[in-house]
């Protein structure tokens, strides 16, 4: 999910401005929950930045989750599709990388801030690849309880057509990609995408760099799965693997290790307090995240929210 409070506020402001504009900024879908309408309003003007990583791989940031791009003669491969209203700006950013058309799109999980651009990217020529559960969830209405938001089923053109359960390998543009399903972690649809030659790993939202993670229990997420996923991210690639989180700046194994220590420590503290019979309010009052709040507590997921995510699962 979109995770900075600043971004949340700025999209709200833009949405409010849109209400008073003489005409709609773009077509509004009355079926979509308010958070998608606001995200689309905010993303229409969002600046897309391009960061070069290694071995031709770039990441586009600024519209929903981080988008990895591998250009080349077999056409571009993208990981995640951002918010649909960013189409013009994403197309400009992609054209600045190379003239290759979009040929393949991989979705790291079903959430709208990683899949809202699926329809236009498919229309532009992309075959969509994902875990089978991502297709199942996009193909039927879904609810994220925390946000009281229900998302309608996606149209056929936005659905992944190449799906797998456990793992899948792709060869394109001289690169080998290893796709692996995580245990239920952030959702039950998460996969990692490892560009094995360049040693660049996209973790989807199983890793938020520098902030407390969001865990979507209502579509299969779980704190213990997040810990297992983070351990697997540590075990994938090498010590110099470049790690693209779902949200936040591109990072490295050292930063993943710091996140792992943070979530494991807080998990054990909260589990211990819950075992003593403490209620959620008593656990929040005990501030089990205090030692980590300066470093991780400034994102969309507040220390109190993260404590609730952990308490729910232990
Ligand atoms: Zn997500």
Contact predicate 185/232, CB 8 Å: no
DSSP letter for 208, please: B
Q: Return the pLDDT at 31.
A: 86
Spacing, Cα 192 to ligand 1 middle (Å) = 13
Spacing, Cα 91 to ligand 1 middle (Å) = 23
Spacing, Cα 261 to ligand 1 middle (Å) = 21
Q: Return the pLDDT at 30.
A: 64
What average pLDDT does the chain have? 92
Tell me the C-alpha distance between 227 and 303, whole Å.
17
Spacing, Cα 73 to ligand 1 middle (Å) = 31
Neighbours of 76 (CB within 10 A): 25
Spacing, Cα 285 to ligand 1 middle (Å) = 28
3-class secondary-structure state, position 227: helix
Contact predicate 201/233, CB 8 Å: yes
- Residues 21-64 pLDDT 10s: 433 444 456 689 999 999 999 999 999 999 999 999 999 999 99
Spacing, Cα 4 to ligand 1 middle (Å) = 13
Spacing, Cα 291 to ligand 1 middle (Å) = 26
Tell me the C-alpha distance between 277 and 283, whole Å.
10
Spacing, Cα 35 to ligand 1 middle (Å) = 13
Tokens at residue 147, please?
Answer: 């946000």
Spacing, Cα 309 to ligand 1 middle (Å) = 14
Spacing, Cα 111 to ligand 1 middle (Å) = 5
Measured at the CA of 237, the angle between CA 231 and CA 239, to 5 degrees, comes to: 85
Tokens at residue 168, please?
Answer: 């899948």
Spacing, Cα 303 to ligand 1 middle (Å) = 18
11 vs 103 pLDDT, higher one? 103
Tokens at residue 84, please?
Answer: 């649909």
Spacing, Cα 271 to ligand 1 middle (Å) = 24
Spacing, Cα 93 to ligand 1 middle (Å) = 23
In 3D, which of 43, 52, 47 has the Cα closest to residue 97? 52
- Residues 198-257 pLDDT 10s: 999 999 999 999 999 999 999 999 999 999 999 999 999 999 999 999 999 999 999 999
Spacing, Cα 186 to ligand 1 middle (Å) = 7
Phi, psi of 188 (to 5 degrees): -100, 15
């Amino acid at each position: 999910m979109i995770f900075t409070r600043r971004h949340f506020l700025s999209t709200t402001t833009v949405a409010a401005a849109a209400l008073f504009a003489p005409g709609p900024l773009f077509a509004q879908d009355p079926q979509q929950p308010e958070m998608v309408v606001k995200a689309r309003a905010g993303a229409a003007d969002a600046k897309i930045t391009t960061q070069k990583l290694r071995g031709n791989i770039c990441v586009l940031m600024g519209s929903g989750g981080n988008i990895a791009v591998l250009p080349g003669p077999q056409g571009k491969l993208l990981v995640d599709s951002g918010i649909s209203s960013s189409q013009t700006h994403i197309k400009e950013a992609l054209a600045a990388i190379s003239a290759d058309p979009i040929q393949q799109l991989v979705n790291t999980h079903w959430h709208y801030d990683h899949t809202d651009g699926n329809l236009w990217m498919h229309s532009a020529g992309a075959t969509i690849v994902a875990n089978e559960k991502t297709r199942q969830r996009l193909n039927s209405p879904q609810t994220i309880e925390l946000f009281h938001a229900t998302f309608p089923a996606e149209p056929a053109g936005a659905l992944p057509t190449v799906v797998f359960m456990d793992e899948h390998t792709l060869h394109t543009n001289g690169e080998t990609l290893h796709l692996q399903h995580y245990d239920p972690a952030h959702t039950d649809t998460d996969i990692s995408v490892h560009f094995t030659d360049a040693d660049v790993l996209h973790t989807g939202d199983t890793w938020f760099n520098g902030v407390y993670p969001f865990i979507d229990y209502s579509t299969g997420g779980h704190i213990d799965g997040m810990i297992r996923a983070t351990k697997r991210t540590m075990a994938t690639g090498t010590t110099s693997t470049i790690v693209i989180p779902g949200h936040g700046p591109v990072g490295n194994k050292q930063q993943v290790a710091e996140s792992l220590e943070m979530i494991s420590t807080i998990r054990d503290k909260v589990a211990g307090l819950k075992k003593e019979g403490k209620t959620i309010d008593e656990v929040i009052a005990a501030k089990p995240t205090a030692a980590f709040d300066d470093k991780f507590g400034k994102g969309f997921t507040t220390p109190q929210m993260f404590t609730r995510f952990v308490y729910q699962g232990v």
